[in-house]
């Protein structure tokens, strides 16, 4: 049995940030294969498409082919225990996707080499940037014709504002893809070859052996670009990678598993183990004996017969043991983490032990809220509050049946408190407006209002809006207009919902005294 120190040091917990179709499922699957966590290629993919959905949890998720067990995947590789947290995207994009990024220690960003940096990647990147966590970039689909590698690096810097250091560099691409020039391991890794997969480089950076590549124009071009990178590119810096200021970039092809192991080895070398986390009692050391963690996601069971939910807990210190007694810091209430604890990695039903960096699922009958801290420590400290994420989609909501007002209000307030959706009230009419980052949140809200609170709701789509909070607590309510709707959030803070960028700019020019901010731009 390893000591808690060794256990924690072996943990690497990350999420993949990418736009749909960049190759997240394919890469995850290849990583799990390396770790021996799955035997067959196609397992993760099958889950995605719903072929083998194993779980009864959450009807909506099931329809979309995601199972709860795939929310966290764990594998052992080379002495490390790796936790991959899923970040649902596209139709399943929600605040939970952002919150998952609060629970990881690093992120892997997959970029489709033909598409470059896409929308959803930008959004998720911003959240990682806010936390200052290291970001490792995998440029995928090199077996296809894509953008020029130098252009992709420029995009990273221009669109995301992050400096990059290519750990390797492609030789050709698409049908001419020869392999990668591996600056980090000083070798060339060939794409289509059974033998000689790796060719050594000499001290000058050229091939150390006689090889036909020496006469290849594609290789020559690679050497020129490598020279350019060495002269004009960023310097490698472990410290800047750890601080999230420099992203190491890897090229490869997830589908053919090319460059994936090279990526994984380097990732494990530079990705951080669980770090101390800020709390109301100062930093909490992951090696501390007191157990602690925070809830970053609550998944409701959409089956009306089963009201229970799963709360996802990121462990931040100590060791989890089944049946242990903890306290919920918000209320001081003692809770026993009994047999009702489910481990969410792979398909093992229960976990007996887990340490900082690991994620466990707790059956919840309504005790937990998102952001809650539980701990065995006598000081009922709380981890830093999770940030507010800027909603982009809005609906006006009312109860279909006016006689159901009481249930309607109770339902909304509980779901808002739980973190399922954001609530705003218009200042003038006190109408209820719900804000979300993804459509799924409205669907879940509607479903749960019907099944848990017995209320049919009417949601009138207001579409996309740009939400900006007001710094001051005093706002001239006459500034409200149809293009800049003045609302208050659940903490009674003023915010404007702007119709579009133009309306926001126009407002800011007309009202320079009203200081606006986007909570996601602050850190």
Where on the chain is the footprint of ligand G4P (CB under 6 A)? Answer: 18, 20-26, 45, 140-141, 143-144, 253-255
Residue with tokens 């020496």: 214
Measured CA to CA, the distance from residue 332 to residue 269 in angstroms comes to: 40
Measured CA to CA, the distance from residue 255 to residue 143 in angstroms comes to: 9
Q: Using the minimum distance from each CB to ligand G4P, give the nearer residue, 122 or 227.
A: 122
Q: Using the minimum distance from each CB to ligand G4P, give the nearer residue, 20 or 272.
A: 20
Residue 18 assigned to a binding site: yes
Q: Quick check: 418 and 99 in contact, CB under 8 A?
A: no
Smallest gap from residue 370 Cβ to ligand G4P (A): 25
Measured CA to CA, the distance from residue 358 to residue 320 in angstroms comes to: 9
Residue 23 assigned to a binding site: yes
Q: Using the minimum distance from each CB to ligand G4P, give the nearer residue, 261 or 280.
A: 261
Smallest gap from residue 444 Cβ to ligand G4P (A): 21
Q: Torsion angle of alpha carbons 38, 40, 42, 47, nearest 10°?
A: -40
Smallest gap from residue 465 Cβ to ligand G4P (A): 27
Residue 87 assigned to a binding site: yes
Q: What phi, psi does 88 have (nearest 5°)?
A: -60, 140
Q: Quick check: 430 and 88 in contact, CB under 8 A?
A: no
Q: Using the minimum distance from each CB to ligand G4P, give the nearer residue, 31 or 255.
A: 255
Q: Quick check: 152 and 264 in contact, CB under 8 A?
A: no
The SS3 of residue 2 is coil
Residue 234 assigned to a binding site: no
Q: Using the minimum distance from each CB to ligand G4P, give the nearer residue, 141 or 448.
A: 141
Q: Using the minimum distance from each CB to ligand G4P, give the nearer residue, 259 or 286.
A: 259
Q: Quick check: 304 and 274 in contact, CB under 8 A?
A: no
Smallest gap from residue 63 Cβ to ligand G4P (A): 17
* Residues in the chain, overall count: 523
Smallest gap from residue 18 Cβ to ligand G4P (A): 5
Residue 431 burial (CB count, 10 A)? 15
Residue 24 assigned to a binding site: yes
Residue 20 assigned to a binding site: yes
Residue 449 assigned to a binding site: no
157-196: burial string, b at 16+ Cβ within 10 Å, e else: eeebebbbbbbbbbbbbeeebbbbbbbbbebbbbbeeeee
Measured CA to CA, the distance from residue 170 to residue 482 in angstroms comes to: 52
Residue 155 burial (CB count, 10 A)? 15
**Helix boundaries (H) for 191-259:** 217-232, 238-242
The SS3 of residue 442 is helix
Residue 407 assigned to a binding site: no
Smallest gap from residue 393 Cβ to ligand G4P (A): 21
Smallest gap from residue 119 Cβ to ligand G4P (A): 13
Residue 19 assigned to a binding site: yes
Q: Using the minimum distance from each CB to ligand G4P, give the nearer residue, 90 or 330.
A: 90
Q: Quick check: 254 and 142 in contact, CB under 8 A?
A: no
Q: Quick check: 89 and 58 in contact, CB under 8 A?
A: no
Burial group, residue 388, by CB count within 10 angstroms (0-12, 13-18, 19+): middle
Residue 86 assigned to a binding site: yes
Q: Using the minimum distance from each CB to ligand G4P, give the nearer residue, 30 or 314.
A: 30
Residue 256 assigned to a binding site: no
Q: What is the largest CA-CA distance in the chain?
A: 84
Q: Using the minimum distance from each CB to ligand G4P, give the nearer residue, 50 or 387.
A: 50
Residue 140 assigned to a binding site: yes
CA distances to 95, 168, 298, 376 from 102, rounded to whole Å, are 11, 29, 14, 22
The two three-digit tokens of residue 281, written as one number: 């009692």
Q: Using the minimum distance from each CB to ligand G4P, give the nearer residue, 110 or 344.
A: 110
CA distances to 137, 385, 447 from 441, rounded to whole Å, are 29, 21, 10
Annotated binding site for GTP: 18-25, 86-90, 140-143
Annotated binding site: 18-25, 86-90, 140-143
């Amino acid at each position: 049995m390893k000591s808690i120190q060794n256990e924690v040091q072996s943990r690497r917990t990350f999420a993949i940030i990418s736009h749909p179709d960049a190759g997240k499922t394919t890469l995850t699957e290849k990583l799990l294969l390396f770790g021996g966590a799955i035997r067959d290629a196609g397992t993760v993919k099958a889950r995605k498409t719903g072929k083998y959905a194993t779980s009864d949890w959450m009807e909506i998720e099931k329809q979309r082919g995601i199972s709860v067990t795939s929310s966290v995947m764990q594998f052992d590789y080379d002495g490390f225990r790796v936790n991959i947290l899923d970040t649902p995207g596209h139709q399943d994009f929600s605040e939970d996707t952002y919150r998952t990024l609060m629970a990881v220690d690093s992120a892997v960003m997959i970029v489709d080499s033909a598409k470059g940096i896409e929308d959803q990647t930008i959004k998720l990147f911003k959240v990682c940037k806010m936390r200052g966590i290291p970001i490792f970039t995998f440029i995928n689909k090199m077996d296809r014709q894509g953008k020029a590698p130098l252009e992709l690096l420029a995009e990273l810097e221009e669109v995301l504002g992050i400096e990059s250091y290519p750990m390797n560099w492609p030789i050709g691409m698409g049908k001419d893809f020869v392999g990668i020039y591996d600056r980090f391991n000083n070798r060339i890794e060939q794409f289509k070859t059974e033998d000689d997969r790796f060719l050594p480089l000499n001290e000058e950076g050229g091939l150390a052996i006689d090889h036909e590549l020496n006469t290849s124009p594609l290789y020559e071009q690679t050497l020129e670009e490598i020279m350019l990178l060495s002269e004009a590119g960023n310097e490698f810096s472990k410290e800047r990678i750890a601080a999230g200021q420099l992203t190491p970039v890897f090229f490869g092809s997830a589908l053919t598993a090319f460059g994936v192991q090279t990526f994984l080895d380097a990732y494990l070398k530079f990705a951080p183990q669980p770090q101390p986390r800020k709390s109301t009692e100062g930093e909490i050391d992951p090696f501390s004996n007191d157990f602690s963690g925070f809830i970053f996601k609550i998944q409701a069971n959409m089956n009306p017969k089963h009201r229970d939910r799963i709360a996802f807990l990121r462990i931040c210190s100590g060791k989890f043991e089944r049946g242990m007694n903890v306290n919920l810091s918000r209320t001081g209430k003692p809770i026993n983490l009994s047999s009702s604890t489910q481990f969410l990695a792979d398909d093992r039903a229960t976990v007996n032990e887990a340490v900082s960096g690991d994620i466990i699922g707790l059956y919840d009958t309504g005790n937990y809220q998102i952001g809650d801290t539980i701990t065995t420590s006598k000081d009922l400290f709380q981890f830093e509050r999770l940030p507010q994420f800027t909603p982009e989609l809005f609906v006006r909501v009312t109860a279909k049946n006016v006689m159901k007002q009481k249930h309607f209000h109770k339902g909304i307030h509980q779901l808002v408190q739980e973190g399922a959706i954001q609530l705003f009230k218009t200042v003038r009419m006190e109408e209820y407006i719900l804000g979300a980052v993804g459509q799924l949140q409205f669907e879940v809200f509607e479903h749960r209002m019907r099944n848990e609170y017995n209320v049919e709701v009417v949601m009138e789509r207001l579409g996309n809006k740009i939400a900006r909070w007001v710094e001051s607590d005093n706002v001239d309510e006459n500034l409200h207009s149809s293009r800049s709707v003045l609302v208050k959030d659940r903490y009674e803070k003023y915010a404007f919902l702007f119709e579009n960028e133009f309306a926001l700019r126009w407002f800011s020019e007309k009202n320079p005294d009203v200081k606006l901010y986007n909570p996601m731009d602050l850190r």
